[in-house]
Structure 1
């Protein structure tokens, strides 16, 4: 079942789908003209989607209790426009929000990567859109906290509402008596800067507020409760679901192209489920996380985050241990040149290894002589090879001693 926001095509062949993707679909009357109205909770999109999930899963369990099911319940909220339904638009008080720090200093916008500024439309080539920034900046360049806190309050109100709908979905699974047999995964595609670093309620950056999202797994009796792992990636979600369903097995390093008859050979993500169930907390295999957006690439390790923009040859390096707010770009500090070289080279290698292995193995069976050589070389990757190579480089970078 696919219920809710869906940004991929073509859709897989599923028994049931109910697609609602537009930002103003059952959330707002006319958000482009900034005339949104607060709907009641029972009229709002996420309530409707959760109701449908409850109906469809309830019918399935009642009529096909022995047949496994899969549901992708995908919410639009808390994506803008931030118009939380009544009464959630009054969940947080102004005092709750005014006490929050703002990770912003005058001049932060100029320090953003050029690709980020281009994607956000705040480039010098298009000065008219500077009104986007001036809408929340005072004449002296300082932040207009009244405007910022108003937007932040609505965003957090909307998050609280989303939490309530997730709770409804989980409670329903529990009420059916199938919690111990049902793996629930909660995650998101991105966060929001909420004016940190000079970006309003938007993203298009590798900064933590945009890139770092929750990923929570729940299956009583199988997945240990209360534990926290260091790293995971949304790339791992598909592999994890397939592993939990018994469709794939752990990666076989010795597999060759002519024996590539299992899905695991082609999967790029790590199986997070099996290590948790068999070994418990602290045994996840992922030690580094890569990310991409347009022509920018980034990798996170235990100590560092490196972002590299190929089009402009821009490099950013942050110390994740001593600079959690990502204020200082260390890329021009010679002390970190070895760390940068290791991570940037590994990141570009990772990008070059994003082969469509299944297409190559199937399409090059009768290739010419050179094609066969290329196929056999690509086959050495297996699905996880690029990820393993990258995280090994991340471990190496973290071990480099930095001079004074």
Structure 2
């Protein structure tokens, strides 16, 4: 049987904005069906709560401190192996439809003589994917990704000859006088986008994914279908723009106490413009109306896509992974955007459907195992029968959980954030090298190490909404010390020796290997050498008569 993988990622989709994860008003029956067919991992965390670093961890299976792409547009260095590098030797076509937020290591490619337009150069520049169609969005006026021309041409055929229809049509509204209202302004979030549903990004990129699957034929494939939404600009076409009014919106999770003497870093992020905007009830209401509509549109496209797989006869041979690169505060904790480590930001939806009979034992279950974004690459590699490479990939295959063979993979989940690129760092007077945050979560305690500041600590067992920071409480210093010890153990891991595995090293007999090679360190005479080599002829170290 041919095996395929459909790796679906949404951008900025919160873990709790699906009906299968508990939202009482936002009904997502098609995503719920995926959960019923597979396993819903309800404690999944990203390796960084911002697009670029999170995605680089998803694509490499490595922590941010290992791959080095610490913020958006900081390149993933040449030489980091990605999903495509692991799958291509297995004969798997690994392609992209949508977003990666990848920035190529142009200087590294130039140093190694890799032409950007060569086959290898394109793979290095595209996170190891074949870019069937890359569409990152996020380009209102500046230079756009060169392969966006397909969408522009599509829109022109639809009667939109705009220079940048992504900006002026898909992400803009229009008033009664024909004036274009930019979706970047949050006051316009509750207005319908100018684009029709089928012209907007989510249906368009779904159609392109279907095109790829049709063209792939019998070749095993792994398709990364990566949606731009529900990431801002918060705007959605009709009929989704007014499906979810204020009566469907959840109250923000926040307390007045959070603003009283907050941790300095947290306090600085609460003062960001986007955080202040989400503290305005009118703005938050308009954004939530669009945000929920965008998710409903994604769910409808999931139904369309699953029906397509059924029609193509591919459902029973395709592993499906549905997830997000991070969440969205949406006003919770007096915050907008993402970037810190409350569950609204760092926790993600994760559904995996393994079509094999071995997965029937756990099918339809919700797993409370601690899962990380870096587990996706080893899971896909395992599914295709690839050999595990733990000296390169730091995540764990989810297959044992999918097959009901275990209920745990790790003791702690780790996430990292480098805020050196943000104005927060300057306002706090923090040096670039010290603008680092690291989160550890053990299933109850969430600990955030903040270089140069006291730690943050939350007890999710007694405070599931994360409203009370216990990091400065003397009564909890022992817990902070315990978590700091776990962080120290994690930081001491070997992560850069990717050319030789632990197993390769363990299989060697150092003294025997050196002796056979004629490297004789510490031997007093030939007799000692013979004791080591046994019957093997001793060639090195022999005494020769002068000619």
TM-score, normalization by structure 1:
0.73
Q: What SS does the aligned partner of 1:217 have?
A: strand
1:208-235: CA deviation from partner (whole Å, max 9, x where unpaired): 1001111100123343321111121101
**Aligned pair partner of 2:301 in 165, 170, 183:** 165
- Equivalent residue number for residue 244 of structure 2: 92
Q: What SS does the aligned partner of 1:165 have?
A: helix
Displacement of 1:122 in angstroms is: 2.7
Displacement of 1:47 in angstroms is: 0.9
**Correspondence 1:303 to 2:444:** yes
**Aligned pair partner of 1:45 in 182, 186, 201:** 201
**Aligned pair partner of 2:466 in 315, 326, 342:** 326
| Higher Cα radius of gyration | 2
**Correspondence 1:218 to 2:333:** no
Specify whether residues 31 and 304 from structure 1 end up closer, same or farther in structure 2 by C-alpha distance, changes over 3 A only: same
| Aligned residues of 1:21 and 1:76 also touching (Cα < 8 A) | yes
**Correspondence 1:5 to 2:96:** no
Distance 1:208 1:175 in 2: 38
- Equivalent residue number for residue 179 of structure 1: 315
Specify whether residues 305 and 212 from structure 1 end up closer, same or farther in structure 2 by C-alpha distance, changes over 3 A only: same
| Aligned residues of 2:321 and 2:352 also touching (Cα < 8 A) | yes
**Aligned pair partner of 2:231 in 65, 75, 79:** 79
Displacement of 1:184 in angstroms is: 0.5
Matches within 5 A, 1:224-263: 224-230=362-368, 231-249=370-388, 263=389
Displacement of 1:359 in angstroms is: 5.2
**Correspondence 1:57 to 2:213:** yes
Alignment RMSD: 2.6
- Which ranges of structure 1 fall in alignment gaps of 5 or more residues? 124-128, 138-143, 250-262, 366-404
Q: What SS does the aligned partner of 1:357 have?
A: coil
Distance 2:129 2:278 in 1: 45
Matches within 5 A, 1:137-176: 137=279, 144-176=280-312
Specify whether residues 180 and 287 from structure 1 end up closer, same or farther in structure 2 by C-alpha distance, changes over 3 A only: farther
Specify whether residues 14 and 306 from structure 1 end up closer, same or farther in structure 2 by C-alpha distance, changes over 3 A only: closer
Does 29-38 or 210-219 show the bigger shift?
A: 29-38
Specify whether residues 95 and 33 from structure 1 end up closer, same or farther in structure 2 by C-alpha distance, changes over 3 A only: closer
- Equivalent residue number for residue 326 of structure 2: 190
**Correspondence 1:122 to 2:271:** yes
- Equivalent residue number for residue 134 of structure 2: 19
- Which ranges of structure 2 fall in alignment gaps of 5 or more residues? 1-94, 105-124, 141-165, 173-181, 419-435, 506-547
